Structure 1
């Protein structure tokens, strides 16, 4: 939704005194899945889809919020016991509370917001919402401004403490720090980050949403974390300085193979190789070598499907379609068991790829995948 439409809804709801317009993006992750909790790297970028909110202080101790897309209204105070019942409003409330914990004197405000991040497609609409309000509250109410990384942590803490999702930092980090024409390599151990150029002239990034979500996700995710921890524990017997799989080489893993179950070995093999792939992709981007980037994406998909076993038939089929159509790179994006593939497609192959895949997928599964073109864009900002 464009900022003009958000402003129109804001004025209809709260009167014709304008507020301030803010926006934050959703994100993609080009490569680096299941590396975050292993002390490795992730490689996200902000996208040209996100949240837009108009916000105006109202000289009360109440927040009056209107969710345009849901056509729902909520009103709540700023004390811990004032938590709203509406799930979407808890994100805004949580951000307010986390900013208050950081000594920001948050006051009441009126707000309306809307987004065009597709829900359930793994592009982090919730992080976009959190980042919009963290950035805005920091500008409007903080006497001494909070640093950007702390704003990302505000979003993460909102998920942990007010939504009940124990997420990592990547989504909020990408939404706050996004930079047009660049991806960001985030070191999940040190939290240091570095920008890398992403200007794929002659290529397009497109997500194909399988429109399925298998129920295995949360229990399977925990099981895989346990596998990684078990492999580290076995390796530590000979290499006591090892803390995460990030610190391990394939030689170390093979050396400890007798003490690691076959399943745990496969999981660790994927993670060690995936951490190296992120570094390889960074090197390739610095040379403008997008074919190598694509090849590494295919390697990631194979690892997630066969070693980490977090893909599913639908995602494997979309990946196979990409190969048949000559697409440069394709892989499952996100935790797995459903959601999207992310595809790096040459311009001249794009139309045929989308048409062929939609038809083939519908014939096999009874419905078409959803198609989302994405462009790498800027992070949280004030619009007007």
Structure 2
């Protein structure tokens, strides 16, 4: 713990800059540094105003994530390629010597969670309170005595953007609890699993583990989920700036409301195909046997389930190939694989629009527009879960301004976000 006034002083004087550069991946003297400093000073002010009396605090950061490869492969125990980005949740927090967690997320009502009851509360489904209680419950199940704390948070992770603001939030709660009550014994992988548990069991969303893993571990990570209990995580060292391309996430304006059924249908249908072979997930199914069985699978499971399974087998191989391409510094190979991934998601996985409202196709329009602008250069694909939200584009730097301006002329001001990959996951920022 560190005195709040001391943290303020280190931010004002630039003494904290080295740590900020380490976390966010910027250079000394970077033009972004004043923004990082001011944001943290703002959080300190918010904490002091909301929670009077705490003299010692710590600062935390948990990033959003971008999926680079492996669209809907994680829940079938497949391979993914993901990365943390420079948008994050930052928090100022301190233990409060009670059994109550009080979290003020800027712009939202105060959450108060009584930790004497760690059972799921149905009325908290789809609410942040469920994530707080779920993360605390999971850490408690691992043998740690979890107590109360106060936290003031602010986030620039775009909600509904496919950058996984929920995973960043779960990671944030996990990092705080780990620091205050677990003697920092939980690994980044432990924190990711805890986050997934909270989202699945308490929040009510049947997500895989990729989002939490990318946010918690940080940097570019290749993850093999063959063993869900002990996934293989490999950090990939690659400087995207060296490719002379920029990573863009484009908000298509689609509405995520009422899409849980669409998201849930993908793992359900893939698992139905796996069950036809006596297996639980497609990773356990031999692809050659699957291909031979397509006639009977079409009758038993339906064509969409078959097509989605075909996507899985190809996408699982692509995620590995993308990892290998980046490890070798072969961006052109990576670019071609990204294009193939996007086409497979659209044609076979079929997650670019919902069948409930087919006349509304925000993602399809954005994908078509981006391809037209890029005209054979760069790459574009569905980003994240799909159906609504965002697309991902790798844009040559010499046409970045034109791409952003043209996309926003159709989709609206600030729809195109130019991001960088940050090296750190969920961290204690200053203590």
C-alpha separation in 2, matches of 1:144 and 1:371: 37
Aligned length: 370
- Could you say which residue in structure 1 is the equivalent of 2:395? 345
C-alpha separation in 1, matches of 2:370 and 2:275: 38
C-alpha separation in 1, matches of 2:113 and 2:256: 35
- What secondary structure is seen at the aligned counterpart in 2 of 1:212? coil
- What secondary structure is seen at the aligned counterpart in 1 of 2:56? coil
- What secondary structure is seen at the aligned counterpart in 1 of 2:153? strand
- Could you say which residue in structure 2 is the equivalent of 1:205? 247
Query: Which is further off, 131-140 or 55-64?
Result: 55-64
Kept after mapping to 2: 8 A contact 1:186/1:192:
yes
- Could you say which residue in structure 2 is the equivalent of 1:309? 350
Check if 1:18 corresponds to 2:68.
no
Instruction: After superposition, give the CA deviation of every residue in 1:337-367 in whole Å (9 maximum; x if it has no partner).
Output: 11111111111011111112222x34xxxx5
Kept after mapping to 1: 8 A contact 2:271/2:280:
no
Kept after mapping to 2: 8 A contact 1:296/1:329:
no
Kept after mapping to 1: 8 A contact 2:206/2:264:
no
- Could you say which residue in structure 2 is the equivalent of 1:320? 368
- Could you say which residue in structure 1 is the equivalent of 2:420? 375
Kept after mapping to 2: 8 A contact 1:40/1:246:
yes
- Call closer, same or farther: CA 1:121–1:320 in 2, change over 3 Å: same
Give structure 2 stretches of 5+ with no counterpart: 1-35, 354-360
Instruction: After superposition, give the CA deviation of every residue in 1:102-148 in whole Å (9 maximum; x if it has no partner).
Output: 22222222221111101111111111112112112212122472233
Instruction: After superposition, give the CA deviation of every residue in 1:59-110 in whole Å (9 maximum; x if it has no partner).
Output: 223223222232x223332111798977333322332232222222222222
TM-score (norm 1): 0.88
TM-score (norm 2): 0.79
- What secondary structure is seen at the aligned counterpart in 2 of 1:79? coil
Kept after mapping to 1: 8 A contact 2:254/2:363:
no
- Could you say which residue in structure 2 is the equivalent of 1:224? 266
Check if 1:355 corresponds to 2:401.
no
Check if 1:43 corresponds to 2:81.
yes
Q: How far off its partner does 1:223 sit?
A: 3.5
C-alpha separation in 1, matches of 2:247 and 2:237: 15
C-alpha separation in 1, matches of 2:97 and 2:280: 50
- Call closer, same or farther: CA 1:109–1:223 in 2, change over 3 Å: closer
C-alpha separation in 1, matches of 2:184 and 2:78: 33
- Call closer, same or farther: CA 1:83–1:268 in 2, change over 3 Å: closer
Kept after mapping to 1: 8 A contact 2:60/2:92:
yes
Kept after mapping to 2: 8 A contact 1:26/1:128:
yes
Check if 1:273 corresponds to 2:323.
no
- Call closer, same or farther: CA 1:91–1:247 in 2, change over 3 Å: closer
Check if 1:59 corresponds to 2:92.
no
- What secondary structure is seen at the aligned counterpart in 1 of 2:254? strand
Kept after mapping to 1: 8 A contact 2:75/2:209:
no
- Could you say which residue in structure 2 is the equivalent of 1:27? 65
Instruction: After superposition, give the CA deviation of every residue in 1:289-341 in whole Å (9 maximum; x if it has no partner).
Output: 22222221221121111112111332222222222223411101112111111
Give structure 1 stretches of 5+ with no counterpart: none
C-alpha separation in 2, matches of 1:222 and 1:68: 30
